[in-house]
Chain A
Amino acid sequence: MREISIVGAGMTKFAKMPERDVIDLGREACIKAIKSSGVPRKDIQIAYCGTARTGQLLNRECGVGQTILLDIGISGIPVTSVGNFCASGSSALREAYLAIASGMYDVALAIGVEKLSVRKGKGLPLTSDGVTLLTALGFSPPAYFAEIATRHMYEFGTTEKQMALVTVKNRGHSRYNPNCQYQTSVTVEEVLASRPIVDPLRMLNCCPTTDGAGAILLCAKDLAWKYTDKPVDIIASSLHFGLYEKNKDMTTFNSDRASGKEAYEMAGLGPKDIDVAEVHDCFSIAEILHYEDLGFCPRGEGGPFVEQGKADIGGEVAINPSGGLLSRGHPLGGTGLAQTTEIFWQLRGEADKRQVPGARVGMTHTMGGFQDSIELADVASSCIHIYRQGW
């Protein structure tokens, strides 16, 4: 299989932007990615665009990618929409990666975009896609993660303070990231005093509703030198649909464990080799599970891991130096490629005041979506990429 490098990355600021539409957001991310890469538009041979809710919210099921590309003077190439829940953008990157790895194409563009601020129900949790039965019984994503938190606290003694510390860490990072919806630090006391959403989760344990886009330009590694002196190699790409089983232990995500294992094997690396990771902190408890499922700490020790500063910049592995979903917000399809953009900048040493010193190897992890099942609990998609400095 051919080796792949990222040569350009770009993203919009993530925020509620009522005046901007999904095409406008995607266009900005693509322009930034292309201009940062030095790749002439005529070299781009194929594109994938990840979205999760443009059908339901904007009456635009197909053609988001095509419309964005047409707007910036690219037409006639294969363009495919990729829908894969919260991992839609990451899955678009994976498809682009596979297209080049196969040898059929040399240069590909991945786009991820979403406009969530148009949804109704301000102040209420986003409902999940296609879960009629669960919704009839009062389900929402924060309820699911709150159930996980209750069980994790019961089995391992994880505390509300430890969950709050995830938010405190990520919001602390956000002060140095102008692309985040929230760019202010918060204290443990502020998290614990914020509005209850679903006990034991409060408002500041939950990521906000946001609009935003990211785009990544990638090519075969042997061509990367044409475009940049500092390519960032993708050394692993893995994706799993939920691994559903009866009586599943809800303090771990089977899909994440499978994707993590496969990614480490593909990269020939282990958790100790990761310097910086952008993980899917849709809720603070989720990040605690990710420490464990991605192998950064043993089972049940995610709470102490954050409490002891091991997930800080300067700790064992810098988790979410961008501020994460808790600060940046989570425009479903937009999230994955914002994560990749952050890692691209981190490995190139371009992350300004939030730079992880000496970061050479990075990871992105995006997960989410639910099956409409009463008795099977996992997330519907988990997508992991591992990256390394390519120079």
Chain B
Amino acid sequence: MNQATFDKERIDPVLADMFIPPSSHDNETHLVASKCNKCGVYFFPKRHICPNCFEEGTLEDKYLSNEASIYTYCVVRAAPVGFDSPYILGYVDLPEGIRIFTMIETDNMDDLKIGARVRLIAGKIRRDENGEDVMGYKFSVMKER
């Protein structure tokens, strides 16, 4: 995926508020979280009220880190309609102290393991009823240096 030519029109509406895709002035993808300025905890996706503090107006939008590590994963063989199997799902740990469910991709299945470093990208998640790509965010396993 050429991140600079990402087609915003094809983003899944369900995921649209959760991330900022790459653009001509920023080649990075960003996950948008809420951070509570009272308790310091991050929430993804964004929340309306901090569930810890239960006060109005303590949340602010923050980008999450773009690198994470795999906590666990699975390889889906029997795919729901619109998803091309096999594909990888998992939970990844972010430095902000949260673990999130995400799609994961890799060029080499041997690199897929617990603890592997992954990097946020924008990319294809599934196909719609017309066979067109539906876009979102996912994490890609990084090459070990």
CB of B76 within 8 A of CB of A150, answer: no
CB of A150 within 8 A of CB of B15, answer: no
> Which residue of the partner chain, among B43, B72, B79, B125, contacts A250 with CB atoms under 8 Å?
B72
Residues on B with beta carbons closer than 8 Å to the beta carbon of A137: 15, 89, 101-103, 125, 136
Which residue of chain B has the shortest Cβ distance to A125 in the bound complex?
B78
Residues on B with beta carbons closer than 8 Å to the beta carbon of A246: 41, 97-99
Residues on B with beta carbons closer than 8 Å to the beta carbon of A154: 72, 114
CB of B44 within 8 A of CB of A198, answer: no
Mark contacts of B11-41 with chain A using CB atoms, 8 A cut-off: 1 yes-contact digit, 0 otherwise. Answer: 0101100100000000000000000000001
Sample 25 A-B pairs with CB under 8 A, ordered by A number: A123-B78, A124-B78, A125-B78, A132-B14, A133-B15, A135-B80, A136-B12, A136-B14, A136-B15, A138-B76, A138-B80, A138-B89, A142-B78, A147-B74, A148-B72, A151-B71, A196-B77, A196-B78, A199-B75, A247-B93, A247-B99, A374-B45, A374-B100, A375-B44, A375-B99
Mark contacts of A107-128 with chain B using CB atoms, 8 A cut-off: 1 yes-contact digit, 0 otherwise. Answer: 0000000000000010111010
| A57 contacts partner chain B, Cβ-Cβ < 8 Å | no
State in angstroms the CA–CA spacing of A124 and B80 once bound together: 7
CB of B74 within 8 A of CB of A200, answer: yes
CB of B76 within 8 A of CB of A198, answer: yes
Mark contacts of B101-112 with chain A using CB atoms, 8 A cut-off: 1 yes-contact digit, 0 otherwise. Answer: 111000000000
Most chain B Cβ neighbours within 10 Å, of A125, A195, A199, A200: A199
Write the residues of chain B forming the contact surface with A, with a CB cutoff of 8 angstroms.
12, 14-15, 18, 41, 43-45, 71-81, 83, 86-87, 89-91, 93, 97-103, 114, 125-126, 136
Which residue of chain B has the shortest Cβ distance to A373 in the bound complex?
B101
> Which residue of the partner chain, among B74, B79, B101, B136, contacts A377 with CB atoms under 8 Å?
B101
Which residue of chain B has the shortest Cβ distance to A151 in the bound complex?
B72
Mark contacts of A148-181 with chain B using CB atoms, 8 A cut-off: 1 yes-contact digit, 0 otherwise. Answer: 1111001000000000000000000000000000
> Which residue of the partner chain, among B44, B77, B86, contacts A374 with CB atoms under 8 Å?
B44
State in angstroms the CA–CA spacing of A113 and B99 once bound together: 36
Write the residues of chain A forming the contact surface with B, with a CB cutoff of 8 angstroms.
121, 123-125, 127, 132-140, 142-143, 146-151, 154, 195-201, 246-248, 250, 374-375, 377
State in angstroms the CA–CA spacing of A198 and B75 once bound together: 5
> Which residue of the partner chain, among B74, B75, B98, contacts A375 with CB atoms under 8 Å?
B98
Residues on B with beta carbons closer than 8 Å to the beta carbon of A195: 77-78
State in angstroms the CA–CA spacing of A273 and B73 once bound together: 37
CB of B103 within 8 A of CB of A197, answer: no
Separation in Å of the B129 CB from the closest CB of chain A?
A: 14
Which residue of chain A has the shortest Cβ distance to B43 in the bound complex?
A375
State in angstroms the CA–CA spacing of A246 and B100 once bound together: 9
Shortest beta-carbon contacts, A-B, top 7: A146-B74, A151-B72, A199-B75, A196-B77, A136-B14, A147-B72, A197-B78
Separation in Å of the B83 CB from the closest CB of chain A?
A: 5
CB of B71 within 8 A of CB of A250, answer: yes
Which residue of chain B has the shortest Cβ distance to A142 in the bound complex?
B78
CB of B71 within 8 A of CB of A197, answer: no
CB of B91 within 8 A of CB of A250, answer: yes
State in angstroms the CA–CA spacing of A127 and B78 once bound together: 12
Residues on A with beta carbons closer than 8 Å to the beta carbon of B78: 123-125, 142, 195-198
CB of B114 within 8 A of CB of A151, answer: yes
Which residue of chain B has the shortest Cβ distance to A135 in the bound complex?
B80
CB of A138 within 8 A of CB of B83, answer: yes
13 more contacts with CB within 8 A, not counting A137-B89, A139-B89, A198-B76, are A124-B80, A125-B78, A132-B14, A138-B79, A138-B125, A143-B89, A147-B72, A198-B74, A199-B74, A199-B75, A374-B44, A374-B101, A377-B91
CB of A136 within 8 A of CB of B125, answer: yes
User: Given that A132-B14, A198-B75, A375-B100 are known contacts, is A138 also in contact with B93, CB under 8 Å in the complex?
Assistant: no
State in angstroms the CA–CA spacing of A85 and B54 once bound together: 28
Most chain A Cβ neighbours within 10 Å, of B41, B74, B79: B74
CB of A134 within 8 A of CB of B72, answer: no
Which residue of chain B has the shortest Cβ distance to A203 in the bound complex?
B78
State in angstroms the CA–CA spacing of A121 and B83 once bound together: 13
Residues on A with beta carbons closer than 8 Å to the beta carbon of B74: 143, 146-147, 149-150, 198-201
State in angstroms the CA–CA spacing of A142 and B75 once bound together: 11
